[in-house]
Every structure is written in structure tokens, then in C-alpha cells.
Amino acid sequence: MARLAPEITILIPVYNEEESLVMLYQVLLEYLRFTPMPSLVLFVDDCSTDSSLTIIQGICKQHSHFGYLSLAKNSGLSSALKAGIDVCTTTYLGYMDADLQTSPKEFMSFFQYLPDFHMVTGIRDQRHDSIIKKLSSKIANQFRRWMIQDGIQDTCCPLKIMRSDMARQLPFFKGMHRFLPALIQWEGGKVKQIKVTHYQRFAGKSKYHLFNRLWGPFLDTLALVWMKNRLIRYEIKQSELHSNQPLEEALIT
């Protein structure tokens, strides 16, 4: 029986996650066994300084449904996402973190909404994070919702599926990963929110702290409001387009 062509690429940005990658590989294999949607997995290594890239290369040699990109220098999460989106050829693009605080198995509950929505995004239920992390996230989310009125409860939940063609249309800038649902909405897309299970961190350390959880999102939200107020939107009412033939050929015909 012929194997179906992949319909979704699961994009996983990685930066110094050597302690989680072997377990993540096992979880992804389990997802690939049971998913009803043919899938690929794409790691994007953001110039890790530990053995993450070596582990990823070993994984990709073992299984043809795994691939990777390796960035030349550490460029941040938004750049890693942009790199993955640029090479994605499947209809849908999934996104998750490498820290195992969310599971790819949750994607299977997203699929039923894809015909009607351009993005399905998770809401982390009963988050297993420190008080400081949960409080800073709550403040940042409330400020963002007040400023841009997108109605998204948990914009930074790292479980998302979106249409690849729409993802390629989004404006990309540092920090844009915090606003993916809002940017999809700006492009006229519909977003569905679903509660997902959140787990304690399996290993490693978070790359974010109180300062970049509050100050960074604050500045990025202000920049996003500035962009929104200056977006170019137009609708053509009538048109008459001229031929691009050389004048001599046009006269002869």
C-alpha cells in the first residue's frame, strides 16, 4: 500500500535542549504511529551550544520522517519559526516546544477544526510553572488583549497548527511568535482555541525570565499596535490592465 503524502509538518525550535531530545523523540514516534494525518517533524536548531544538534542529526538518520535546519548563529525563537515556515511544503504547519511541557498527541484533537479554521491554538490548562512565571504570563496576556483586542487567552501556548500558506503571509519580526493568533486574524483568518494539558518541565531550564517575560512583550505589543494602525489595506473596484507585449507586436496583432 502506498504511503500517503505528508499533510502537516511539526516545527520544533531547539536551543540547548540536549536533556529533553531523546525523550521528545520517543513521544514524537508515538504520535507518528497513531496520527490520522500524515506528518513530518522538522527541528530548527538555533545554534545550540550543547550537544542538541548532534542528537538531532542522529535522530534524523534513524527516521525518514524527521529533518532539521541548523541556523548559522543564535537568532531567537521568531527567526527559528520563520526559517521553518520558509521551507515547509505541507498544507499545514504545527508548532511545539522541545521542553515536553506539552505533547504532540494533543494535535490529534486539533485536526477536526482545520477545515473551518486557519489556526487552532492551545490554552494551557492548570499550568505547571513557577508562581513568577505564571504571574508574569498573566500580566503580559492581559496587557496584550487590552491593547490589541484579539480575544486570545494564551497566545504563547506552544501548541499551534496553522495553514502554511497563511503563515507565509505573516509579517515577521523579533518577538512575533507571541502574536501568531493575532497576526492570523489580521490576515482574515479564523482562530480556534482549545484547552490542552500542561506538564512540568522534563529537564533543562527555561530560556525566559521575569525581565524578558514582561519588558519584551510590553515593547512588542506597542510595536504591534503601531503596525496595525499602519497596515495597508485596499480593494480594487475596477481595472483595465494593459498588455506587456512590445508596442510593435501589439500593433501588428
Q: Is the pLDDT confidence value at 68 over 80?
A: yes
- Buried b / exposed e over 203-219, threshold 16 CB at 10 Å, is ebeeeeeeeebbeebee
Q: Work out the pLDDT band at 1, boundaries 50, 70, 90.
A: very low
Which residue did the predictor score with more confidence, 130 or 46? Answer: 46
Q: Considering its fold, how many domains does the chain have in total?
A: 1
Q: Work out the pLDDT band at 112, boundaries 50, 70, 90.
A: very high
Q: Work out the pLDDT band at 2, boundaries 50, 70, 90.
A: very low
Which residue did the predictor score with more confidence, 54 or 135? Answer: 54
Q: Which domain holds residue 98?
A: 8-230
Does 97 fall in a domain? yes
Most confident of 66-70, 134-138, 230-234: 66-70
Does 25 fall in a domain? yes
Does 99 fall in a domain? yes
Q: Work out the pLDDT band at 243, boundaries 50, 70, 90.
A: low
Question: C-alpha grid cell for residue 51?
Answer: 550537544
Q: For the segment 125-139, what is each residue's pLDDT rounded down to a tens digit? A: 776 555 656 556 666
pTM metric for this prediction: 0.77
Which residue did the predictor score with more confidence, 44 or 143? Answer: 44
What's the whole-number mean pLDDT along residues 14-39? Answer: 95
Compute the mean pLDDT over every residue in the chain, rounded to the nearest whole number.
82
Q: Which CATH number belongs to the domain containing residue 95 in this structure?
A: 3.90.550.10
Does 248 fall in a domain? no
Does 42 fall in a domain? yes
Q: Is the pLDDT confidence value at 51 over 90?
A: yes
Which residue did the predictor score with more confidence, 188 or 118? Answer: 118
Q: Work out the pLDDT band at 171, boundaries 50, 70, 90.
A: confident
Which residue did the predictor score with more confidence, 225 or 177? Answer: 177
Q: Work out the pLDDT band at 124, boundaries 50, 70, 90.
A: confident
Q: Could you tell me what percent of the chain has a pLDDT over 90?
A: 51
What's the whole-number mean pLDDT along residues 161-172? Answer: 90
